[in-house]
Amino acid sequence: MSSQQTFSRGRRRVLWGLPLAITLVWLAYVVYMNQWDRVAEHWRAALTMIFGSFVAGATPQGGGAVAFPVFTKVIGTPAAVARTFSLSIQAIGMVTAGLSIVLSGKPIERRAVLAGGGAGVIGFLVGLLLLTDHSTPFWNSHIPDPYVKVTFTVVLAALAYIVYLVLDEGDCGRSTLPIWNNRMWVGVVAAGLIGGAASALIGSGADVFVFLFIVVIAGLHPRVGVPSSVLAMAMVSLTGIVVLGIIDGQLATQVAGDSVVAVGGTPIDPIPRAQNDVFGMWIAAVPIVVWGAPLGTIFIHMLREKRLISFVAGMALLEVISTAIFLEPLRTDRWLLAYAVVGLVFAIVGVRWLHTHRDGLLKEASPDRAPMSVFDS
């Protein structure tokens, strides 16, 4: 057997060995600590993340793009709790997905990952500092929950629209970004900062904004943009679980009866257990995401160009539809409805303008960007 074959086999062992190891540790913990009832109680979180983890590995939206709307609109979980859960579970799922991306040799734009992900971490920390109330158990947002939810939907609507444009034009983009001038660096960093701040409120966003910049403006191929954005969001998610879940102790929810009675060791006024037990939801979903996210990265790499782009657009559109159906304040609060409509118009017009003028914005001559047959298989 050649050394290359031995190396490839070793990478495959690591790729599937890590999810297996995490699953075994999870099983040992649940059995030793007798947590089966808690896992069973939060079956909805596990069920949600079957799809959410797959999306985390396959699209630039992250598992939070599924968890946040389902938890807040269907289960009734407060936005701050859903954010902490999303970041904590992505720290498991997106890291295993990222490992799958690296070990399988999928093409990524390393500079975008490092600059966008690093800026995302900074934006996330600044967002936590300025946009959240640290006197509350889960650092609630200063912005009312319905507006946070609608903002998230507007961003994903813009993503769905611009991905549709890429599909309609048949212009898939480039496999790398050869010119990295000052505007390119500023754009990637700005996208990471904005997305990181959004992640401080909704548990996702750095991946979406980095993807929008490197694909919509910089002209990177979506097949490179998706795994690059996954890795950027993995950096933010790891920061989230460390800062919120571990240091602040938001993963350490203590339950009594039907209530959460303490967070991070600090007693609180009892709040409903089913919607606020972050640790219970997290422990129920861990064995799902460690397998679902890597499978998502494998699935998306198998799709041809049009199906890949259609899948990404479809997932974003699904979030828009779920908001229209499940977010009750949209039908009772006219100001929220106006905000949603105006925000949607501005987002779509804005991304269309950015897409149209992308070469001029980056001071590049219009390159020949024929669809890349190297990715068609």
| pLDDT, tens digit (0-9, with 9 covering 90-100), for 111-132 | 999 999 999 999 999 999 999 9
User: Which distant-in-sequence residues (6+ apart) come within 8 Å of 164 by Cβ?
Assistant: 309, 313
- Which helix H or strand E contains 268, and what residues bound it? strand 266-272
What's the confidence (pLDDT) of residue 10? 58
Please check whether residue 61 is in contact with residue 322, taking contact to mean a CB–CB distance below 8 angstroms: no
What residues does 216 pair with on adjacent strands?
none
Q: What CA–CA distance (Å, rounded) separates 97 from 66?
A: 16
- The pLDDT > 90 percentage for the chain reads 38
Beta bridge partners of 254: 262
- The answer to whether the beta carbons of residues 210 and 229 sit under 8 Å apart is yes
Which band of pLDDT confidence, cut at 50, 70 and 90, is reported for residue 148?
confident
Distance, CA of 234 to CA of 241 (rounded, Å): 11
* Cα–Cα distance measured from residue 252 to residue 262, given in angstroms and rounded to the nearest whole number: 8
275: how many CB neighbours lie within 10 A of its CB? 16
Looking at residue 305, what is its pLDDT? 59
Q: Give pLDDT, residue 296.
A: 72
| Percent with pLDDT over 70 in the chain | 81
Sign of CA dihedral 340, 345, 346, 347: positive
Of 199, 153, 201, whose CA–CA distance to 341 is shortest? 153
Taking 90 as the threshold, does the pLDDT of residue 38 lie above it?
A: yes
Distances in Å between the Cα of 313 and the Cα atoms of 31, 59, 145, 221, 358 are 41, 9, 25, 15, 20
Rounded to two decimals, the pTM is 0.84
Hey, which residues does 141 pair with through a beta bridge? 132
* Least confident span in 57-66, 80-89, 217-226, 249-258: 57-66
**How many Å is the maximal CA-CA distance in the chain?**
68
pLDDT for residue 136: 94
**SS3 assignment, position 252:** coil
pLDDT in tens, 203-242: 888 988 998 888 878 888 877 888 898 899 999 999 999 9
pLDDT band at residue 368 under the 50/70/90 scheme: very low
Number of Cβ atoms within 10 Å of the Cβ of 352: 15
**Predicted local confidence at residue 373, as pLDDT:** 37
Lowest mean pLDDT among 39-43, 64-68, 292-296, 341-345: 64-68
- The DSSP string of 72-108 is IIII---HHHHHHHHHHHHHHHHHHHHHHHHHTT---
Give pLDDT tens digits for 56-68.
666 666 666 677 7
Token pair recorded at residue 360: 């001029």
CA separation for the pair 296, 228 (Å, rounded): 14
Would the pLDDT of 370 be above 50? no
CA dist 199 to 47, 82, 109, 239, 333, Å?
A: 23, 11, 22, 11, 25
**DSSP category for residue 374:** G
Contact assessment for residue 85 and residue 71, using Cβ atoms and an 8 Å cutoff: yes
